Amino acid sequence: MNNGELPGLYIHTPFCRSKCIYCDFYSVASRTMVPAWLEAIRAEMKLYGKDFPVFDTLFLGGGTPSVLEERELALLFESIRKHFSFGPDAEMTMEANPESLSKEKLDAVARFGVNRMSLGVQSLDDTDLQYLGRAHDGARALRALRECREAGFGNVSVDLIYGLETQTLASWKKTLDLLLEFRPEHISCYELTFSPSTPLGKRKESGRVRPIGEKMEAAFFIWTSRYLKRHGYHHYEVSNFSLGQENMCRHNRKYWRHVPYLGLGPSAHSFAAGPGAQTRARRWWNVLSLREYCRLLGEGKAPVSGFEELTSEQFDLETLDLGLRTEEGVDIGFLEHFSKDQRVLALWRKSGLVRVSEGRVRPTRKGFLVADSLALMMSK
């Protein structure tokens, strides 16, 4: 929950070199509209500068922020600094893909204040990377990791994907072993998903690709959690591992604990206030079209396409759902917000899905595996 912590700022950079076949994030495979987006995002910052003056995290995500050229990144950071301030030890993350990084770009973003690089590696196996439609190969990804270190980044996060039909546990281990030589401070391991709107989802529907099945997915998940733990990584959220508590992603932790955040750019989501404050928790999100986003801001309008106010029941259920996705869990007293608290807690404990320690209900590894359904059991 929000304990008076400063909000986080998210900026969505909706440009990619090409579209990966599994991706359902909003982005376009063209740089043509970068100047218009830069102008629009500056206008959007102006709209919110008074309501959100200070942050302690920045997450430049996408899309692929590293497809921006140095002078474009300079303009973006100039606008950010003009409209917002950051606490002295702010975490400033930038997502990047290996093929669009260079020593010069890394040096430049370090000068602009970025202190955490999040690299979209996905795999170090070229067969996997081709299957996913990625624009880099394993060698380029390893070079990008080296370049981050050479540029002085002491906080590097790596995104990986498991559960591909091209993968075996042995080839996945090889990817992890190569990566572990770099000791990235943070690793995110996501299970491959087959969103129906993506080319991969359509290939699944027509039988051209096959999911590996629930049993194998669970095997990958459990094995990965154990293996990374053995190498010193703290499994602190369903998909996230850090070298020690100090390297957990401060920005993403705000999402899981209902700390306010402002999201700018097409498709970005924002969240503000909550019970205990004067107003209900509110969430709003931007249009899913770059053209529409630029047009609305060009007319001086907010590019918001949806808005919701959470009832206290929705807020509680969401708090439970998000909390049980993290190792931190929820305060045991919080379960009293639900009528079936003792019955469901007893069932969770009996099934080995949670443990209770230091007054908190925390998911076990097995609980992480079914994290999507834990809170639902309390609500039904």
Question: Which residues contribute to the site for ligand SF4 (CB under 6 A)?
Answer: 16, 19-20, 23, 25, 27, 62-64, 97, 120
Q: Are 353 and 369 in contact (CB under 8 A)?
A: no
Give the nearer residue to ligand SF4 in terms of CB position, either 65 or 363.
65
Q: State how far the Cα of 375 lies from the Cα of 322, in Å rounded to an integer.
A: 9
> Maximum distance among all alpha carbons in the chain?
59
Q: How far is CA 366 from the centre of its chain?
A: 22
Give the nearer residue to ligand SF4 in terms of CB position, either 23 or 121.
23
Q: How far is the CB of 54 from ligand SF4 (least distance, A)?
A: 29
Q: How far is the CB of 168 from ligand SF4 (least distance, A)?
A: 23
Give the nearer residue to ligand SF4 in terms of CB position, either 100 or 225.
100
Candidates 148, 144, 172; CA nearest to 228 is 172
Q: How far is the CB of 129 from ligand SF4 (least distance, A)?
A: 11
Residues 6+ apart with CB under 8 A from 278: none
> Which helix (H) or strand (E) covers residue 177, if one does?
helix 169-180
**Nearest-CB residue to ligand SF4?**
23
DSSP state of 239: T
Candidates 96, 143, 142, 149; CA nearest to 123 is 142
Candidates 77, 11, 5; CA nearest to 262 is 11
Q: How far is the CB of 67 from ligand SF4 (least distance, A)?
A: 9
Q: How far is CA 259 from the centre of its chain?
A: 15
Among positive and negative, which fits the CA dihedral 27, 28, 30, 32?
A: negative
Residue 344: C-alpha distances to residues 327, 349, 375 (Å): 19, 9, 10
Cis peptide preceding 63, ω within 30 of 0: yes
Give the nearer residue to ligand SF4 in terms of CB position, either 120 or 184.
120
Q: How far is the CB of 66 from ligand SF4 (least distance, A)?
A: 10
Residues 6+ apart with CB under 8 A from 298: 39, 40, 43
* Amino acid code (one letter) for 239: S
Q: How far is the CB of 99 from ligand SF4 (least distance, A)?
A: 9
Give the nearer residue to ligand SF4 in terms of CB position, either 67 or 259.
67
Structure tokens at 353: 């899905």
Give the nearer residue to ligand SF4 in terms of CB position, either 25 or 334.
25
Q: How far is the CB of 257 from ligand SF4 (least distance, A)?
A: 25
Q: How far is the CB of 122 from ligand SF4 (least distance, A)?
A: 8
Give the nearer residue to ligand SF4 in terms of CB position, either 107 or 159.
159
Q: How far is the CB of 12 from ligand SF4 (least distance, A)?
A: 10
Structure tokens at 66: 């590293």
Residues 6+ apart with CB under 8 A from 88: none
Give the nearer residue to ligand SF4 in terms of CB position, either 23 or 68.
23
Give the nearer residue to ligand SF4 in terms of CB position, either 64 or 79.
64
Q: How far is the CB of 19 from ligand SF4 (least distance, A)?
A: 5
Give the nearer residue to ligand SF4 in terms of CB position, either 188 or 225.
188
Q: State how far the Cα of 177 lies from the Cα of 191, in Å rounded to an integer.
A: 18
Residue 216: C-alpha distances to residues 133, 220, 222, 306, 367 (Å): 23, 6, 10, 38, 17
